[in-house]
Amino acid sequence: MRRLIASRRARLLAGVAAVVAVIVALLMTGLGRDPSVFASPLVGRAAPNFTLPQLDGPPVTLTRLRGQIVVINFWASWCTECRVEQAALNQTWQQFQDSGVVVLGIDFQDTADAARSYVRTDAVAYPVVEDASSKTALAYGLRGVPETFVVSRSGRIVRHVIGPVDPVALAGEINSMLGTRA
């Protein structure tokens, strides 16, 4: 009788341990993930097209950039984290602009004057367009700024980063895309 009770207890403990192990394994799968890389429903799909006016220049249409890798960065002059990543985006533009890579800033919920002032003081080197109606921001499922989308040469979104971009990770992504025919 005692042996029967001991065997039942052992089976119960093994069951509880198995359930705990499954839960811990599920939780641990998230530890290796970069929290800034967002599992956007747009990743893998065609980037929504837009034609937006540049702050000081002709309008930019996304489909006209087909064949080039496009780094789309949503930002605003009032956004402090955008200033944090500014150097990284300038560096990416300077490093890759001759390799068929375009960095494009999209000004979000801002005034043209404030945006121009930001571009001047922070020496934004790449083209910047205005999204006054936020239509483009909504089409990209924007939740805030900064957010960055990497679009392949075929016009598909391959990465969606929430928060400031990591220049090393971004350069690695671009280098791997330049090495493929994507």
> Of residues 47, 128, 142, 151, which one binds other proteins by CB under 8 A?
142
Residues numbered 13-42 forming contacts with other proteins, rule: CB under 8 A: 40-42
User: Which residue, 61 or 134, has its beta carbon nearer to other proteins?
Assistant: 134
What's the token pair of residue 82? 């955008």
Measure the CA–CA gap between 129 and 74, rounded to whole angstroms. 10
Q: Is 111 in the site for other proteins (CB under 8 A)?
A: no
> Judged by CB under 8 A, which stretch of 64-72, 86-94, 122-130, 137-145 contacts other proteins?
137-145
Using CB under 8 A as the binding rule, whether residue 8 contacts other proteins is answered as: no
Residue 144 binds other proteins (CB under 8 A)? yes
The residue among 72 and 88 lying less far from other proteins, judged by its C-beta, is 72
Q: Using the rule CB under 8 A, which residue among 135, 154, 172, 182 binds other proteins?
A: 135
Alpha helices in the chain (DSSP H): 2-28, 80-96, 112-121, 135-139, 167-178
Is the distance from CB of 75 to CB of 165 less than 8 angstroms? Answer: no
List the x/- string, 59-98, binding to other proteins by CB under 8 A.
----------------------------------------
Tell me the C-alpha distance between 21 and 170, whole Å: 36
Q: CB nearer to other proteins: give 11 or 45.
A: 45
- Residue 49 or 94: the one with the smaller Cβ distance to other proteins is 49
